[in-house]
Amino acid sequence: MKQFPHEVEVVQKRKVSDGAGGFKTEWSPVDTIEAFVDTPTSKERLLAHQVQNPLDRFMYYPYRTDLKSNMQLRFDGEIYAFAGRPEDQGGQHEIMRVALKLLTG
């Protein structure tokens, strides 16, 4: 089994031509990453809810620092936003984890 079996599309708001000489802002793909998207335990969900920062998933992915909170993630037909800051698991610059909240449902 692969460590990162899921493909997640990273999207970011960008200005694009509106075809009439102006611009409009829309979500555009910037990358596709390999990740492991996991469901948090009931206890993790409860704790997140208690501090008013609900979460729906955890995403684990190879170490990188270019994913930012103004980006969204598309996975399995749904769109997620960051519910926290990405964390370097164990401080080894190998695996990152970030909490996600569902925007579509």
* Topology classification of domain 6-102: Thrombin, subunit H (2.40.10)
Domain segments of the chain: what residues? 6-102
Residue 52, class by beta-carbon neighbours within 10 Å (0-12 exposed, 13-18 middle, 19+ buried)?
Answer: exposed
Condensed to tens digits (0 to 9), the pLDDT of residues 28-49 reads 999 999 999 998 888 887 787 7
Question: From the CA atom positions of the chain, what is the Rg in Å?
Answer: 15
pTM: 0.85
Condensed to tens digits (0 to 9), the pLDDT of residues 60-69 reads 999 999 999 9
